[in-house]
């Protein structure tokens, strides 16, 4: 009744809930639950009895929040008692409405070939194309449509973290699984490949053979985060054999990396040349328009009405990483589930820990102010001619910080501090330096603390 992709979503939601709830609560309420029906908008979960139904109902907002976190989507969550009359009726009403699609899915040949490590939500439809990723997207679609041969093979996709490399890679895999179900698609994260290889070696020759065959029989190998192989000689060797075996038989290889092949410094030349022998494309941070388009898409997926100034606030403040952009959006949505509406004010509150206000630029005024407060004197006293020790020490510290935090010249500092001579300033700075270096002085701690407050 529940498609594999929904099962996968549910298991991720469970993991998320496991972190949010106490161990006992999770084991008591969530462990016995199973999804009995799901489509793109609703998840129906069964609970063992009426008592659980009553209790777990109060958790529904928490569940919805977890769905938003896992797949940026606002699912309607319904509960029903397992095998009850009510459950039969609910299922009948839902499956009647979505019968065609269920039938279609049941007829799919791809069910057992579908690589379970592919995330069904990472597809081309969900990928927003903009100036930074247009070429990468086009190359991935081209590979997905015409697999094998020398056409863009291997495809080497590189760029910074959170820019959509993994998403595009899954999209190729999902597309091929859907349209050419007979093809063997393997998606593997480099780290997993390494771990698998190590445990295989420990288990002996038979295990190694099946490991080797698994990868060398792929029609499409999606190898994510190849930079992880850097410096791992034996792994590189293994990957090189797999790569050659696949490449020579015209099978497709797609790799992602956080840098271009020529920057993989510890890679032998023969590997570097191989990796860049097909098509190498980079993916750049999204421009403002793309960021807003991605946020718009998330709003649609959540059926959420989000004002333009909220989009603008998030997109203007989170510029270089789509994962963080998504995280910020999910936080706003989760926050608004509690507070009831989405507006700029709630967005600013929800994101206060993520988007910090612009730091105040350090100035001599700020230094004098912070030092004065630290030593419980006034700024006026620091700038005055008073010569008692409770004022001269803060004054010298403030001068020292103007010199070494702001790089101000001695004459300039002298001017700021009420027209003092540059030699006076120099003397003050030298004195503070000497004090910091003397073992029994607490000045060094004072200065570190003041710097933190600046």
Residues at the interface with Mg ion (CB under 5 A): 165-166
What region does 64 belong to: left with phi over 0, alpha with psi -120 to 50, or beta? Answer: alpha
CA distance 328 to 354: 8
Specify the residue, 165 or 252, whose C-beta has the smaller distance to Mg ion: 165
CA distance 89 to 50: 16
Specify the residue, 332 or 391, whose C-beta has the smaller distance to ligand ADP: 332
Answer yes or no whether residue 37 interacts with ligand ADP by CB under 6 A.
Answer: no
Answer yes or no whether residue 328 interacts with ligand ADP by CB under 6 A.
Answer: no
To Mg ion, the closest distance from the beta carbon of 169 in angstroms equals 8
9 binds, among ligand ADP, Mg ion, none (CB under 5 to 8 A by kind): none
To Mg ion, the closest distance from the beta carbon of 224 in angstroms equals 6
CA distance 252 to 157: 14
Answer yes or no whether residue 261 interacts with ligand ADP by CB under 6 A.
Answer: no
Sign of CA dihedral 121, 123, 126, 127: positive
**Two tokens, residue 451:** 């710097």
**Two tokens, residue 238:** 């293994």
Answer yes or no whether residue 300 interacts with ligand ADP by CB under 6 A.
Answer: no
Among 38, 45, 47, 294, binds ligand ADP (CB under 6 A): 294
Fill in the DSSP letter of residue 41.
S
**Two tokens, residue 21:** 């709830």
Among 120, 154, 162, 414, binds ligand ADP (CB under 6 A): 162
194 binds, among ligand ADP, Mg ion, none (CB under 5 to 8 A by kind): none
Q: What are the residues facing 76 on neighbouring strands?
A: 42
- 311 burial type by CB count under 10 A (0-12 exposed, 13-18 middle, 19+ buried): buried
Judged by CB under 6 A, how many residues of this single chain contact ligand ADP?
16
CA distance 430 to 426: 6
Fill in the DSSP letter of residue 10.
H
Stretch that binds ligand ADP, among 127-135, 142-150, 351-359, 435-443 (CB under 6 A): 127-135
Specify the residue, 167 or 183, whose C-beta has the smaller distance to ligand ADP: 167
164 binds, among ligand ADP, Mg ion, none (CB under 5 to 8 A by kind): ligand ADP
Residue 111 CA from chain centroid, whole number: 29
**Apex CA 126: angle with CA 123 and CA 128, to 5°?**
120
127 binds, among Mg ion, ligand ADP, none (CB under 5 to 8 A by kind): ligand ADP
Specify the residue, 110 or 258, whose C-beta has the smaller distance to ligand ADP: 258
163 binds, among Mg ion, ligand ADP, none (CB under 5 to 8 A by kind): ligand ADP
Answer yes or no whether residue 131 interacts with ligand ADP by CB under 6 A.
Answer: no
CA distance 137 to 128: 9
174 binds, among ligand ADP, Mg ion, none (CB under 5 to 8 A by kind): none
326 binds, among ligand ADP, Mg ion, none (CB under 5 to 8 A by kind): ligand ADP
Residue closest to ligand ADP when measured from CB atoms: 164
294 binds, among ligand ADP, Mg ion, none (CB under 5 to 8 A by kind): ligand ADP
Answer yes or no whether residue 257 interacts with ligand ADP by CB under 6 A.
Answer: no
Among 59, 94, 127, 211, binds ligand ADP (CB under 6 A): 127
Answer yes or no whether residue 128 interacts with ligand ADP by CB under 6 A.
Answer: yes
371 binds, among Mg ion, ligand ADP, none (CB under 5 to 8 A by kind): none
The answer to whether the beta carbons of residues 176 and 220 sit under 8 Å apart is: yes
- 34 burial type by CB count under 10 A (0-12 exposed, 13-18 middle, 19+ buried): middle
* Residue 155, SS3 per DSSP: strand
Residue closest to Mg ion when measured from CB atoms: 166
For residue 154, whether the previous peptide bond is cis, meaning omega lies within 30 degrees of 0, is: yes
* Residue 274, SS3 per DSSP: helix
- The binding track of 165-184 with respect to ligand ADP, each residue x by CB under 6 A or -, is xxx-----------------
What region does 419 belong to: left with phi over 0, alpha with psi -120 to 50, or beta? Answer: left
Among 163, 271, 399, 402, binds ligand ADP (CB under 6 A): 163
CA distance 402 to 161: 38
Among 238, 326, 435, 446, binds ligand ADP (CB under 6 A): 326
Specify the residue, 87 or 294, whose C-beta has the smaller distance to ligand ADP: 294
Count of alpha carbons within 13 angstroms of residue 74, beta-carbon side: 18
To ligand ADP, the closest distance from the beta carbon of 307 in angstroms equals 21
Strands (E), 28-177: 34-38, 42-47, 76-81, 155-159
**Which stretches of the chain bind ligand ADP, using CB under 6 A?**
122, 126-128, 133, 161-167, 294, 322-323, 326
């Amino acid at each position: 009744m529940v498609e594999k992709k929904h099962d996968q979503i549910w298991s991720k939601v469970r993991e998320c809930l496991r972190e949010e709830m106490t161990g006992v609560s999770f084991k008591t309420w969530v462990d016995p639950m199973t999804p009995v029906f799901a489509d793109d908008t609703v998840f129906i979960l069964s609970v063992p009895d009426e008592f659980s139904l009553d209790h777990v109902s109060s958790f529904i907002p928490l569940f919805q929040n977890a769905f938003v976190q896992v797949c940026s989507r606002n699912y309607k969550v319904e509960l029903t008692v397992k095998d009850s009359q009510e459950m039969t009726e609910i299922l009948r009403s839902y499956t009647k409405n979505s019968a065609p699609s269920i039938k279609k899915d049941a007829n799919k040949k791809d069910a057992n070939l579908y690589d379970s490590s592919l995330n069904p939500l990472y597809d081309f439809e969900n990928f927003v194309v903009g100036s930074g990723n247009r070429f990468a997207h086009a190359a991935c679609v081209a590979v997905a449509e015409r697999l094998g041969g020398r056409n863009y093979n291997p495809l080497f996709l590189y760029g910074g973290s959170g820019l959509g490399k993994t998403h595009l890679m899954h999209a190729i895999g999902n597309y091929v699984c859907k349209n050419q179900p007979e093809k063997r698609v393997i998606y593997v994260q480099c780290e997993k490949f390494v771990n698998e290889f190590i445990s295989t070696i420990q288990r002996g020759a038979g295990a190694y053979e099946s490991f080797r065959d698994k990868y060398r029989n792929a029609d499409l190998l999606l190898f994510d985060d190849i930079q992880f192989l850097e410096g791992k000689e034996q792994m590189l060797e293994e990957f090189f054999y797999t790569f050659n075996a696949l490449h020579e038989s015209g099978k497709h290889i797609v790799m992602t990396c956080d840098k271009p092949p020529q920057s993989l410094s510890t890679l032998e030349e023969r590997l570097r040349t191989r990796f860049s022998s097909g098509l190498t494309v980079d993916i750049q941070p999204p421009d403002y328009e793309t960021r807003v388009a991605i946020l718009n898409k998330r709003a649609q997926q959540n059926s959420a009405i989000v004002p333009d100034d909220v989009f603008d606030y998030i997109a203007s403040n989170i510029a270089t990483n789509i994962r963080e952009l998504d995280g910020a959006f999910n936080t706003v949505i989760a926050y608004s589930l509690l507070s009831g509406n989405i507006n700029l004010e709630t967005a600013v509150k929800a994101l206060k820990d993520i988007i910090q206000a612009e730091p105040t630029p350090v100035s001599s005024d700020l230094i004098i102010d912070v030092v004065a407060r630290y030593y419980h004197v006034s700024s006026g006293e620091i700038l005055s001619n008073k010569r008692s020790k409770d004022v001269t020490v803060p004054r010298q510290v403030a001068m020292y910080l103007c010199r070494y935090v702001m790089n101000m010249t001695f004459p300039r500092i002298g001017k700021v501090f009420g027209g003092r001579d540059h030699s006076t300033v120099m003397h003050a700075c030298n004195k503070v330096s000497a004090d910091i270096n003397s073992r029994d002085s607490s000045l060094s701690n004072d200065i570190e603390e003041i710097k933190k407050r600046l």
